[in-house]
Amino acid sequence: MKKFGIYKWDVDEYRAVKHGFSFPGCVLQWIWLVYKGMYVRGTLFFLAYVLLGNLIYGMEKDANPLLYGLRALIPVLEHPPLIENEILRVSVGLFRTVAFGLVIGLSGNGWYRKNLLKRGFLHVTDVEAPEAK
């Protein structure tokens, strides 16, 4: 049995938010945050993800805008990789992705419940429901 918080908006609009770990939040990360209406938090996670990626992987001086997007237009971001060893660099990049996923997965539903309350939803009740089959 899973526990869900039920939230109601003015006109018969209900949202059910699971208590505990959010698997979609873990996998989709900042995209899930934006989809759920947490725009500031999603943007902050996106920027942190991109900036940490830039630090880890670096960017060449002759970066092509088609390959690097807007980063190629910002000269401050041009630098060699922070980590020279490619295996270690990829491992740190993977760790960054997993760490962000775990933080969002563990905290995401709680953030979403607080966001619903902030947007004017009312907490109606908590219910336990069986898993979907």
Q: What's phi and psi for 131, nearest 5 deg?
A: -65, 150
**Six-digit token string for 125:** 């009740």
**Six-digit token string for 109:** 């539903």
Q: Over range 38-46, report the average pLDDT.
A: 96
Q: Give the tens place of pLDDT for each residue, 23-37.
A: 999 999 999 999 999
In this prediction the pTM is 0.80
**Six-digit token string for 10:** 């003015």
Q: Over range 17-24, report the average pLDDT.
A: 94
